[in-house]
A = this chain, B = another copy of it.
């Protein structure tokens, strides 16, 4: 099954939904639902059971209506997911004191993003067709840019740094989320899984064919099991910030882009 695609559909309708600026009809029966309620229920189901559990039938059932009713509020499932995504981005920009200095601020951006994915793992499964320019997305973007404002980086470079951090966190958090979900879905811890898998692999694995992996793999496995995504995230974030620091230093030494 493919990812849920967001950012599709009629732009006018999408903007209305994202920004909550739709005109309310005057005639007809009083609506029993509203967009915010539908979205909140969808987020709750997704958080608890993953995006696969968010079917129109499921959400409608949870709200005491039938599936087709939802289409009076959102044009389709993709648009529902759009709004879900923008709503959870709102958690990133709650009033919070920014740490001093670009490096600590950028680190905080990365950590908040990482934490957001951990709270809402389904975010990983949403493929964006086009940027979702909802209020919280833009607020998030604004906050991220502010982390690197005043560094001497050009606007383009600021944009690119923010994109770099976002891309990295998205890539890195997969490991953490997938490991947690694998355990939940199969009921097997990493260790239990490895106990079943390792003897089978040993029958087919030829160390001569993979000499470096044969050395590093067991060492890494001993210390990190099937992976230690949080440690990998920390390590990678440090490297990434070091790399940005090289560039920031260059800019502050007067070298322009």
Task: Tell me if A172 is interfacial: C-beta within 8 Å of chain B.
Answer: yes
- State the 4 A-B residue pairs at the shortest beta-carbon distance, nearest first: A243-B243, A171-B171, A2-B52, A167-B171
Interface membership of A96, Cβ < 8 A: no
Q: How far is the CA of A215 from the CA of B158 in the complex (A)?
A: 11
Q: Beyond A1-B2, A167-B175, is A8–B186 a contact (Cβ under 8 Å)?
A: yes
**A interface bracket (residues with beta carbon within 8 Å of B):** 35 or more
Residues from chain B with a CB closer than 8 A to the CB of A146 are 212
Interface-facing stretch out of A27-35, A62-70, A82-90, A136-144? A136-144
A50 close to B (CB within 8 Å): yes
A-B contact pairs, 24 of them (CB 8 A): A3-B125, A5-B181, A11-B200, A21-B203, A127-B174, A130-B182, A130-B193, A133-B197, A141-B213, A142-B211, A146-B212, A149-B212, A156-B224, A157-B235, A159-B219, A163-B227, A164-B236, A166-B171, A167-B232, A168-B168, A170-B171, A239-B247, A242-B242, A243-B244
| A171 contact from B172, B204, B238, Cβ within 8 A | B172
| Chain B residues whose CB sits within 8 angstroms of the CB of A7 once the complex forms | 182
Interface check A185, CB cutoff 8 A: yes
Which single member of B5, B12, B127, B239 contacts A200 (CB below 8 Å)?
A: B12
Complex formed: what's the CA distance from A210 to B144 in Å?
A: 11
**Does A51 make an interface contact (CB < 8 A)?**
yes
Interface status of A129 (Cβ within 8 A of chain B): yes
Report the Cα distance A34→B178, complex, angstroms.
Answer: 30
Closest B residue to A188 by beta carbon equals B130
| Interfacial chain B residues near A125, Cβ < 8 Å | 2-3, 127
How long is the Cα–Cα vector from A206 to B108 in the complex, in angstroms? Answer: 26
Question: In the complex, which of the residues A133, A157, A169 has the most CB atoms of chain B within 10 Å of its own CB atom?
Answer: A133
- Rounded to whole Å, the gap between the CB of A224 and the closest CB of chain B is 7
Across the interface, name the chain B residue whose C-beta is closest to A250.
B242
Q: Which residues of B have CB within 8 Å of A133? A: 197, 201
What is the distance, in angstroms, from A55's C-beta to the closest C-beta of chain B?
9
Interface set, chain A 219-257, CB cutoff 8 A to B: 219-220, 223-224, 226-227, 231-232, 235-236, 238-244, 246-247
The reply to whether B212 and A181 contact each other, CB–CB distance below 8 Å, is no
Task: Point out the residue from B52, B169, B214, B244 that lies within 8 Å of A1, measured CB to CB.
Answer: B52
Does A160 sit at the interface, judged by CB under 8 A?
yes
Q: Would A220 and B167 count as touching, CB distance under 8 A?
A: no
**A2 to B124 alpha-carbon distance, docked (Å):** 10
